[in-house]
């Protein structure tokens, strides 16, 4: 199994970046500052549709708040039903991580990262079957998730973000990663593969196309 990754984009150029995980994207909107503050559109249907080939059907919006060093993920949904996510940071800073868990995908085991902050207001799109994680870089970091389906506890699964085979950059200098009990006991990618827990690539693509 080969794990590859790419770092976050360094420039603030408005537009779209396709990530190293097939079907995942980074969106960088235009920011409009003035003497009152600023305005930014964190989701734009035309830009999103041009990149992915479909609009995003928002079924649920969720929000989490985390202190510095908190790691959430790597989380994914049973496929079917599968869930796609559009993620942005409403306050603070986070390193967002996209991990390809789809068995049979040309980028299986690959991850990519996007810096989500209050300067560039980037967002991340994770297609059906792709795992999501992030590490909070500041206290009181607020993350907002637009989801294509409902959150159903029994359909939600996790891969260890500390899996050495993945090598995710979730450890901050001077801070031990802060994980939930669920994420502490989560299997590695190889263990999840052996147990048949991971999404199938073709099934994920079919569900993605039906969004």
Beta-strand pair 71-77/156-158: antiparallel
Is 88 among the catalytic positions? no
Class of residue 106 by CB neighbours under 10 A (exposed 0-12, middle 13-18, buried 19+): exposed
14, 28 Cβ separation under 8 angstroms: yes
169 Cβ contact list (under 8 Å, min separation 6) = 95, 97, 113, 135
Residue of 75, 86, 132, 157 marked active site: 75
Residue of 88, 125, 145, 201 marked active site: 145
Is 59 among the catalytic positions? no
**Residue recorded with tokens 């870089």:** 137
Show which residues are catalytic.
Answer: 75, 145
């Amino acid at each position: 199994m080969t794990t590859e990754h790419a770092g976050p984009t360094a420039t603030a150029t408005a537009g779209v970046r396709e990530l190293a995980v097939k079907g995942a994207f980074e969106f960088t909107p235009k920011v409009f500052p003035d003497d009152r503050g600023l305005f930014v559109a964190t989701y734009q249907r035309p830009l999103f549709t041009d990149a992915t080939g479909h609009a995003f059907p928002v079924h649920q919006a969720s929000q989490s708040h985390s202190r510095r060093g908190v790691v959430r993920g790597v989380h994914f949904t049973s496929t079917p039903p599968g869930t796609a996510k559009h993620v942005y940071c409403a306050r603070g800073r986070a390193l967002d991580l996209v991990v390809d868990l789809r068995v049979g995908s040309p980028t299986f085991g690959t991850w990519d990262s996007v810096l989500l902050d209050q300067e560039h207001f980037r967002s991340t799109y994770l297609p059906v079957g792709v795992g999501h994680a992030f590490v909070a870089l500041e206290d009181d970091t607020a993350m907002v998730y637009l989801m294509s389906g409902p959150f159903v506890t029994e359909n939600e699964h996790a891969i260890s973000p500390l899996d050495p085979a993945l090598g995710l950059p979730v450890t901050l200098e001077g801070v031990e990663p802060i994980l939930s009990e669920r994420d502490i006991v989560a299997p590695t990618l190889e263990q999840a593969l052996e147990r048949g827990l991971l999404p199938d690539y073709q099934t994920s693509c079919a569900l993605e196309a039906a969004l």
